[in-house]
Structures are given as C-alpha cells and as structure tokens.
Amino acid sequence: MEKYIIFCGYVGLKGSLKIIESRYDELVRYFNKIYLDSVACHIRDRGYYGRYLSPINNDRPDIKPVDIDSIFASFIGNIEDVTQGGILDTLYNFAMSHRCGFEIEMKKIPAVQICIEICEYFGLNIYRLLTDGKLIMTDDPIADCKYLNDKGISAEIIGRLSKGLDKAIVDKEVTEYVNRPTEDEIFKVIKHERENIIGN
C-alpha cells in the first residue's frame, strides 16, 4: 500500500527564532518590529505546531497550544522528528535507513512568511534550517491530516514514499534531487554556542 508523507509544524521556524534572538538589532532595522516579533509570539502562544496567527490579519481559528505528546501517541507507524538539518536532512536519512525514495512538493511544506524572508535576507535554505516538527508516513493521509488539523496542529500532505531510491522534488520546472545531509544552515549566521542553539 502506498505511503504518503505528512509534515507537522513549520519549516525553519525554530531556526528562525534563534536567528531573530541572536541578530535582533540588525533585523529590526530591516523588518517591521511587530512582524518580526510575531515569530516569538506565535511560539509562546501556539508552540511550534499550532496554526499560525498572522499579526497583520488574524483570520485563523483561535486554538490553544497543543499537547504534542498525547496527540502523536495515537499514531501507529513511522513518525520522524525534524530537528537539526531541517526537513530535507530528515527525509534523506529516513529514506536511506529504509532503503526507499520519496517524491515531495516543496510548495506544500508549511512555512511562515517572515521565516522565508529572514532566510532570504541571510541567503539560507529554509528546508535545511533547524526545525521543530514531525514527519508521519501514512496510508490514510486525508483522515490523518483532518485529525491533526482538528487538534490545532498545522499538518499538510507534502508527498509520498517511492519504491525506487530517488529522493526527488517534483514541483520544480525540472525534477531536482535531494543531496546528502549538510551542516545546519543556522551555523552560517550563528557561529558560537553550537550545543545551546540545537538543544534549546
């Protein structure tokens, strides 16, 4: 039976918070302060997984922080933590350890706009940036996404596993392939306190 990939959380959100904390004085000269502070406010009020509330146009449901551990405890099968190296490193390592491939659509991976802009500012790949998220491999992605969304979790179907070994990004004009893991993008901006950055 075909397995689909669900991503829960927001790509690069944790890394973006660390960058904002480290380079705030520089970034606040370039970005609107309310817009910039919305990252920390969202994480404080909704965690890394809760639906994003825009500081400009609050048109999302008001949902309390989610109890991640209890919600994911009900899932059977493969659940992978996305952490250092971001979503691409996690997918690559999963595929290598299970001797399979995958096809993903980057445009379907949830991201917060200010995090995208921060990565553009520093020239970082948000998909290889420190992330607090989870990947679920499932044969019933629609039902699982509905369950997670109803619990207040940002969850999107981003692709599927494949029997071959290719690790492909298929929503580009030309199919691209995911390379082996590299150092987390955050270290291009923050070059000290490596353990504290990743661990907290």
For residue range 80-94, list pLDDT tens digits in order.
999 999 999 999 999
The pLDDT assigned to 193 comes to 56
Does residue 80 lie within any of the structural domains? yes
Least confident of 37-46, 108-117, 128-137, 179-188: 37-46
Give the C-alpha separation, 21 to 46, whole Å. Answer: 18
Query: What does the H/E/C string look like for 149-164?
Result: HHCCECEEEEEEEECC
Does residue 176 lie within any of the structural domains? yes
Torsion-angle region of 112 (φ positive above 0: left; ψ -120 to 50: alpha; else: beta) = beta
For residue range 106-140, list pLDDT tens digits in order.
999 999 999 999 999 999 999 999 999 999 999 99
The domain total for the chain is 1
Domain of 116 in residue numbering reads as: 4-188
For residue range 139-155, list pLDDT tens digits in order.
999 999 999 988 889 99
The pLDDT assigned to 57 comes to 44
Q: What is the CATH number of the domain that holds 49?
A: 3.90.650.10
Mean pLDDT for the stretch of residues 158-174:
93
Q: Is 15 or 67 the better-scoring residue by pLDDT?
A: 15
The pLDDT assigned to 64 comes to 61
Does residue 198 lie within any of the structural domains? no
> What radius of gyration do the chain's Cα atoms show?
17
